[in-house]
Chains A and B, each alone.
Chain A
Amino acid sequence: MKEGQVWETRPLEFWAKAKELRASWQASAGDEARVVGQGSTYSVDWAECFPALNVVEDNPGGSMIQAKDSPFARKCRLASEIRGWGREICGYTNNLWGSMFLGYEQDGRPFPLRQFVIPMGAECDQHTKRGQQCRDFSPVPQWMEDHCIYFGEDDPERDVPIIEHNDYCQLRQINDIERIFGQKFNDEKLSDMIKASEIIVEYARDIQVLIGTTKPAPLSAKDLYSVYTIGHLTKVDPQETVNFWKMVRDEVEWRAKNHIAALGTERFRWIEAHPPSWHFLKYYRYMEKYGAVCVGSQYLQQNCELLEYKPDGGIDRRAAPKYPADTPIKTREDAIRVMVGPDARTPRAWKSDEYIRRDSIVEFAKIMQADGALLPLWRSGVGCTLTRKEQAMRLRNELGLSVIYYEGSQPGDRTDLDELRFLDHLDTWMESLGFEKLED
């Protein structure tokens, strides 16, 4: 037993399966026989339904470049910077653009130039430029996907034309790709993916409830980050993805029931707001030396969409406009309509709605039974720092939590992250709360 260890901890059994799925995706990503497209992270969930289409996305592509090969990432950003793109541009985007400008990927293979692009109007600042630069570089056709949303109170009358337009954008892209590139779209697979997504969301919700309501936490954010892209960003087989997330949910449930901890020395639980610096994940393990475990972030768990904290202290599913689970999907239009959903305010989440974000972190902290929060001050991308200070004030004033910041360029850009300074501040944070390292 380690010093300070209170609970039993065990390796995760779903780990081997996660690695297998990841390897399978990695192998498929290298298929050069495909038509290559560029999309944004959240807009092209239907892309897998084109069997011979390969979508090269800035995320996770750009974040993987930084995580796996820092010197290459620096080279990419320089290639982008000398073309006039500054550090206020998202690091993911700069990394992938740089790779495109250089003409090769981190493993030396030629960069897969796109044959079309679909940028999306993300709230995440400059992402609309993602497609623009790729389009101009190749040059290739561009479809602009509108992603209309609005803030404020629900307005059903306003929803109707917005949703119609969102549906239309998706349909137009699919139909045009079929027509222009001679690709056959698999409508049956889209239907399967939509159904799978519904099931996976329920598993994700269960996992979040189990982490939040159980002390010690059966799974840490560090663990969840290792697998959270499986099925969404990596787009593996729908049924296999459902099976995997059931495996994760079942294991987490068993661990919670048997008090198997993610961290056997847990004595401090903290939350985050946005993605960590992908090249510097060691700070999670560093905090573990103090018996401190990260139980999640709004980015990772997207709590606003999933859970609601009730005044009596209970946790419930968040009520949100949604089509019934048995809504028939007979045509492509039906499928798109269900995929887009009936709520034009969607995603009513941490990222899209700056007003909700300030409230939601307080709710998230309650759900996760957090003792503190570590918030990043990113200079660009992934929501930037907008509302970050307000979030801290709400956490301090309303819940009395201890909150600290760290600053950097963006999770995919290590340029401005002072790693030693960051660790120093973690020491200070823990020392100021009276904790000493349990191990060194």
Chain B
Amino acid sequence: MITAGIDIGVEHIKVIILKDRQIAGRAKGSSGGADRGGMVEQAYQAALRDAGATRADVVKIAATGKGKHNAAIADVLISEQVAAAKAARFLYPGATCVVSAGADEIMAAVLGEKNRINEYTFNQKCAAGLGLFLESMARRLGMSLEDMSRLGAPKEAAVNEGCVVMAELDALSLLNHGVSREEVGGAVISAAAVRAASVIHDITKPAKDCVVLVGGLARNAAFVRALKAISGIEFLIPGEAEYAGALGAALPVAETA
């Protein structure tokens, strides 16, 4: 049986094709801004090709992510937190907590029995500490995200971790004072990690073991290093970290289809 999960984030669309609960194909595309519907279709087609499947083979499609309401082809909509939790337990059956760090939201959830979520929390509405912030700052610093990912911890520089606008002003001020862009970039990464750690510590009993980290930011090595240092957590990061939302959406429909 073939099912599909589509994670429509504010920056990227990720699609997973499951065949008998195993990943058979995947694809990624830009979120498309106003033309999300069209971009969803393109990414879906690419994932089908990757899986060697046709549209008619797919029994059910589930969508998640902030843009899930734009997925006209979806049969089922699944919330992002539930999708992340499903993926974490599928990839690591012993997982006790999942942290999803994406372009516009950081979420931490404590997993309970029967794949239930015992508690979850998420960032307040500010881009500080999120993927969008890092992308924006990378442009400011004339670096790519890959460059940012290779940065080390800053020696002295620090930027505001509570407000993305203030952080940007701090970064520009540091540059004006002759601080190297690598040092400023490290400070930006560090601020993002502080913000993410504050979300994790906002749940009542933050787990220190079996914590799965998913989402686009899980691919940023500098961010992960900084988050580990601040939170004291040795994260489990799956190869499918970026596709976890899509995987988590496809799983429940595979169970019920």
Contact = CB atoms under 8 A, between A and B. Distances in A.
Interface of A: 377, 389, 392-393, 396-397, 402-405, 407, 416, 418, 421, 424-425, 427-428, 431-434
Given A416-B125, A433-B116, A434-B116, A428 B204 contact: no
Contact of B78 (A404, A421, A431): A431
Contacts of A432: 79, 81-82, 85, 109, 116-117, 120
Contacts of A405: 121
A38 to B, nearest CB: 33
A402 B82 contact: no
A421 B125 contact: yes
24 contacts: A377-B124, A396-B119, A397-B204, A404-B120, A407-B124, A407-B125, A416-B125, A418-B125, A421-B125, A424-B66, A424-B80, A427-B79, A428-B79, A428-B80, A428-B81, A428-B82, A431-B81, A431-B82, A432-B79, A432-B82, A432-B116, A432-B117, A433-B117, A434-B116
Interface string B194-208: 000000001010000
A217 B237 CA distance: 46
Nearest to B122: A425
Q: How large is the interface on B (under 10, 10 to 19, 20 to 34, 35 or more residues)?
A: 20 to 34
B251 to A, nearest CB: 13
B224 to A, nearest CB: 25
A389 B120 CA distance: 13
A434 B78 CA distance: 12
Chain A interface, DSSP helix/strand/loop, else mixed: helix
Contacts of B122: 425
A397 B78 CA distance: 28
Interface string B107-133: 001000010111111101100000000
Nearest to A427: B79
A379 to B, nearest CB: 10
Contact of B120 (A377, A424, A428, A434): A428
A437 to B, nearest CB: 10
A344 B109 CA distance: 44
Contacts of A433: 116-117
Contacts of A416: 125
A396 B120 CA distance: 12
A316 to B, nearest CB: 31
Nearest to A395: B204
Nearest to A430: B79
